[in-house]
Amino acid sequence: MANIRLCYQTLEFGEIDIHLCTLRDRQQFDDPAGIAERLGISPSSWPIFGVVWPSSLALASFMDVYNTGSKRILEVGCGMALPSLLLNSKSADITSTDCHPEAGAFLVRNTAINNGTVIAFERTGWGDKNDQLGLFDLIIGSDLLYEDEHTELLADFINAHSRPSCEVILVDPGRGRKTKMANALEKFGYTCTYQKILQRAAPAAEYKGHILKFVRQQQMLS
Protein backbone atom coordinates (compact mmCIF):
# COMPACT_ATOMS: atom_id res chain seq x y z
CA MET A 1 0.00 0.00 0.00
CA ALA A 2 2.63 2.48 -1.10
CA ASN A 3 0.08 5.02 -2.33
CA ILE A 4 -1.75 5.75 0.92
CA ARG A 5 -0.95 8.05 3.82
CA LEU A 6 -0.89 6.71 7.37
CA CYS A 7 -1.00 8.19 10.84
CA TYR A 8 0.01 6.97 14.28
CA GLN A 9 -1.79 7.53 17.56
CA THR A 10 -1.82 6.26 21.13
CA LEU A 11 -5.02 5.56 23.04
CA GLU A 12 -5.03 5.18 26.81
CA PHE A 13 -7.09 2.69 28.80
CA GLY A 14 -6.16 3.19 32.42
CA GLU A 15 -2.53 2.09 32.68
CA ILE A 16 -2.56 0.48 29.22
CA ASP A 17 -1.42 2.34 26.10
CA ILE A 18 -2.50 0.99 22.73
CA HIS A 19 -0.49 2.29 19.78
CA LEU A 20 -2.17 2.31 16.38
CA CYS A 21 -1.13 2.77 12.80
CA THR A 22 -4.23 3.70 10.79
CA LEU A 23 -5.17 5.38 7.54
CA ARG A 24 -4.61 9.12 7.74
CA ASP A 25 -8.24 9.82 6.83
CA ARG A 26 -11.22 8.50 4.89
CA GLN A 27 -9.89 9.88 1.62
CA GLN A 28 -7.29 7.12 1.26
CA PHE A 29 -7.69 4.41 -1.38
CA ASP A 30 -5.38 1.76 -2.82
CA ASP A 31 -6.73 -1.26 -4.66
CA PRO A 32 -4.49 -1.61 -7.74
CA ALA A 33 -5.21 -5.32 -8.25
CA GLY A 34 -8.96 -4.90 -7.76
CA ILE A 35 -9.06 -7.34 -4.84
CA ALA A 36 -11.43 -5.22 -2.76
CA GLU A 37 -13.58 -4.48 -5.79
CA ARG A 38 -14.05 -8.19 -6.44
CA LEU A 39 -15.15 -8.57 -2.81
CA GLY A 40 -17.83 -5.93 -3.36
CA ILE A 41 -15.94 -3.12 -1.57
CA SER A 42 -16.34 0.14 -3.49
CA PRO A 43 -13.72 2.92 -3.59
CA SER A 44 -15.90 5.07 -1.32
CA SER A 45 -16.24 2.33 1.30
CA TRP A 46 -12.65 1.04 0.98
CA PRO A 47 -11.17 3.30 3.71
CA ILE A 48 -13.96 2.76 6.27
CA PHE A 49 -12.08 -0.14 7.88
CA GLY A 50 -8.91 1.88 8.35
CA VAL A 51 -9.82 4.55 10.91
CA VAL A 52 -10.84 4.36 14.57
CA TRP A 53 -14.56 5.02 14.95
CA PRO A 54 -16.26 6.19 18.18
CA SER A 55 -18.08 2.86 18.46
CA SER A 56 -14.80 0.95 18.40
CA LEU A 57 -13.44 3.18 21.15
CA ALA A 58 -16.63 2.63 23.16
CA LEU A 59 -16.37 -1.14 22.75
CA ALA A 60 -12.70 -1.14 23.77
CA SER A 61 -13.53 0.92 26.86
CA PHE A 62 -16.33 -1.49 27.77
CA MET A 63 -14.11 -4.55 27.28
CA ASP A 64 -11.34 -2.95 29.32
CA VAL A 65 -13.37 -3.53 32.49
CA TYR A 66 -15.30 -6.62 31.36
CA ASN A 67 -14.44 -9.95 32.95
CA THR A 68 -13.62 -12.20 29.98
CA GLY A 69 -12.10 -14.95 32.12
CA SER A 70 -10.95 -17.85 29.96
CA LYS A 71 -13.56 -17.25 27.26
CA ARG A 72 -12.67 -17.72 23.61
CA ILE A 73 -13.49 -14.34 22.04
CA LEU A 74 -14.20 -13.30 18.44
CA GLU A 75 -14.24 -9.69 17.23
CA VAL A 76 -16.45 -9.42 14.14
CA GLY A 77 -15.87 -6.67 11.57
CA CYS A 78 -12.76 -5.67 13.46
CA GLY A 79 -11.41 -2.93 11.15
CA MET A 80 -8.45 -1.51 13.06
CA ALA A 81 -9.19 -4.07 15.81
CA LEU A 82 -8.73 -1.72 18.75
CA PRO A 83 -10.75 -3.94 21.14
CA SER A 84 -8.78 -6.99 19.98
CA LEU A 85 -5.46 -5.26 20.59
CA LEU A 86 -6.59 -4.18 24.06
CA LEU A 87 -7.81 -7.66 24.95
CA ASN A 88 -4.58 -9.14 23.58
CA SER A 89 -2.62 -6.88 25.94
CA LYS A 90 -4.61 -8.50 28.76
CA SER A 91 -3.69 -12.01 27.53
CA ALA A 92 -7.27 -12.78 26.48
CA ASP A 93 -7.97 -15.53 23.94
CA ILE A 94 -8.95 -13.22 21.06
CA THR A 95 -9.54 -13.90 17.35
CA SER A 96 -10.33 -11.14 14.85
CA THR A 97 -12.12 -11.18 11.52
CA ASP A 98 -13.05 -8.69 8.82
CA CYS A 99 -14.04 -8.83 5.18
CA HIS A 100 -11.54 -6.16 4.10
CA PRO A 101 -8.43 -7.52 2.35
CA GLU A 102 -6.08 -5.12 4.20
CA ALA A 103 -7.42 -5.59 7.74
CA GLY A 104 -5.15 -8.54 8.47
CA ALA A 105 -1.99 -6.66 7.46
CA PHE A 106 -2.86 -3.73 9.72
CA LEU A 107 -3.56 -6.14 12.57
CA VAL A 108 -0.12 -7.72 12.17
CA ARG A 109 1.53 -4.29 12.10
CA ASN A 110 -0.35 -2.98 15.12
CA THR A 111 0.19 -6.14 17.13
CA ALA A 112 3.93 -5.77 16.54
CA ILE A 113 3.84 -2.06 17.47
CA ASN A 114 2.30 -3.05 20.80
CA ASN A 115 4.75 -5.93 21.34
CA GLY A 116 1.79 -8.29 21.53
CA THR A 117 1.45 -11.98 20.85
CA VAL A 118 0.07 -13.00 17.46
CA ILE A 119 -3.68 -12.46 17.17
CA ALA A 120 -5.49 -15.12 15.14
CA PHE A 121 -7.17 -13.55 12.10
CA GLU A 122 -9.27 -14.76 9.21
CA ARG A 123 -10.59 -12.65 6.36
CA THR A 124 -14.17 -13.67 5.78
CA GLY A 125 -17.59 -12.22 5.06
CA TRP A 126 -20.76 -12.90 7.02
CA GLY A 127 -22.24 -14.78 4.09
CA ASP A 128 -19.21 -17.06 3.64
CA LYS A 129 -19.82 -20.66 4.64
CA ASN A 130 -16.31 -22.12 4.53
CA ASP A 131 -14.33 -20.20 7.15
CA GLN A 132 -12.18 -21.97 9.73
CA LEU A 133 -12.98 -19.77 12.73
CA GLY A 134 -14.67 -22.37 14.92
CA LEU A 135 -16.90 -21.66 17.94
CA PHE A 136 -16.65 -18.95 20.61
CA ASP A 137 -17.86 -18.13 24.12
CA LEU A 138 -17.99 -14.37 23.52
CA ILE A 139 -18.52 -12.48 20.25
CA ILE A 140 -18.01 -8.72 20.07
CA GLY A 141 -18.33 -6.02 17.43
CA SER A 142 -18.97 -2.31 16.89
CA ASP A 143 -21.04 -0.31 14.40
CA LEU A 144 -21.94 -3.30 12.25
CA LEU A 145 -25.59 -2.64 11.38
CA TYR A 146 -25.32 -0.35 8.36
CA GLU A 147 -28.19 -1.86 6.35
CA ASP A 148 -31.40 -3.74 7.18
CA GLU A 149 -30.16 -6.90 5.47
CA HIS A 150 -27.06 -6.89 7.66
CA THR A 151 -29.09 -7.95 10.71
CA GLU A 152 -30.03 -11.39 9.38
CA LEU A 153 -26.59 -11.98 7.86
CA LEU A 154 -24.84 -11.03 11.09
CA ALA A 155 -27.25 -13.04 13.26
CA ASP A 156 -26.67 -16.13 11.12
CA PHE A 157 -22.90 -15.59 11.26
CA ILE A 158 -22.98 -15.18 15.04
CA ASN A 159 -25.09 -18.29 15.50
CA ALA A 160 -22.77 -20.31 13.26
CA HIS A 161 -19.82 -19.39 15.51
CA SER A 162 -21.49 -19.50 18.93
CA ARG A 163 -21.02 -22.20 21.49
CA PRO A 164 -24.28 -23.42 23.08
CA SER A 165 -23.68 -20.97 25.93
CA CYS A 166 -22.49 -17.68 24.47
CA GLU A 167 -22.48 -13.93 25.05
CA VAL A 168 -22.62 -11.31 22.30
CA ILE A 169 -21.67 -7.68 22.90
CA LEU A 170 -22.33 -5.18 20.12
CA VAL A 171 -21.97 -1.40 20.13
CA ASP A 172 -24.59 0.39 18.06
CA PRO A 173 -24.20 4.15 17.49
CA GLY A 174 -27.91 4.63 16.89
CA ARG A 175 -28.52 3.39 13.37
CA GLY A 176 -32.05 2.30 14.28
CA ARG A 177 -31.59 -1.45 13.90
CA LYS A 178 -31.02 -2.70 17.43
CA THR A 179 -34.56 -4.06 17.68
CA LYS A 180 -34.17 -5.89 14.36
CA MET A 181 -30.92 -7.38 15.65
CA ALA A 182 -32.55 -8.45 18.90
CA ASN A 183 -35.38 -10.14 16.99
CA ALA A 184 -32.93 -11.89 14.66
CA LEU A 185 -30.87 -13.34 17.54
CA GLU A 186 -33.93 -14.21 19.59
CA LYS A 187 -34.66 -16.94 17.04
CA PHE A 188 -31.40 -18.59 18.12
CA GLY A 189 -32.27 -18.50 21.82
CA TYR A 190 -30.63 -15.22 22.81
CA THR A 191 -32.09 -12.69 25.22
CA CYS A 192 -31.12 -9.03 24.88
CA THR A 193 -30.48 -6.07 27.16
CA TYR A 194 -29.54 -2.50 26.17
CA GLN A 195 -27.19 -0.20 28.04
CA LYS A 196 -26.59 3.45 27.18
CA ILE A 197 -22.94 4.25 26.61
CA LEU A 198 -21.43 6.71 29.07
CA GLN A 199 -19.89 9.79 27.48
CA ARG A 200 -16.43 9.03 28.86
CA ALA A 201 -16.39 5.80 26.82
CA ALA A 202 -17.12 7.67 23.57
CA PRO A 203 -15.87 11.25 23.82
CA ALA A 204 -17.57 12.58 20.69
CA ALA A 205 -20.19 15.00 22.01
CA GLU A 206 -22.87 13.84 19.59
CA TYR A 207 -22.41 10.14 20.24
CA LYS A 208 -25.63 8.46 21.42
CA GLY A 209 -24.81 4.78 21.20
CA HIS A 210 -25.83 1.71 23.18
CA ILE A 211 -24.23 -1.51 24.30
CA LEU A 212 -26.34 -4.42 23.06
CA LYS A 213 -25.71 -7.51 25.18
CA PHE A 214 -27.14 -10.86 24.11
CA VAL A 215 -26.91 -13.99 26.25
CA ARG A 216 -27.73 -17.61 25.49
CA GLN A 217 -27.46 -20.33 28.10
CA GLN A 218 -27.14 -23.98 27.19
CA GLN A 219 -30.21 -25.93 28.18
CA MET A 220 -29.29 -28.75 30.55
CA LEU A 221 -31.12 -32.03 30.03
CA SER A 222 -32.83 -33.37 33.16
The pLDDT score that the predictor gives to residue 199 is 53
pLDDT above 80 (res 137): yes
Which residue pairs, CB below 8 angstroms and at least 24 apart, start in 144-150? 144/76, 144/77, 144/170, 145/170, 145/172, 145/175, 145/177, 145/178, 145/180, 145/181, 146/175, 148/177, 148/180, 150/126, 150/177
Per-residue pLDDT reduced to its tens digit, 78-117: 999 999 999 999 999 999 999 999 999 999 999 999 999 9
The architecture (CATH level 2) of 51-216 comes to 3-Layer(aba) Sandwich (3.40)
138-155, pLDDT tens digit by residue? 999 999 988 888 899 999
Q: Is the pTM of this model over 0.85?
A: yes
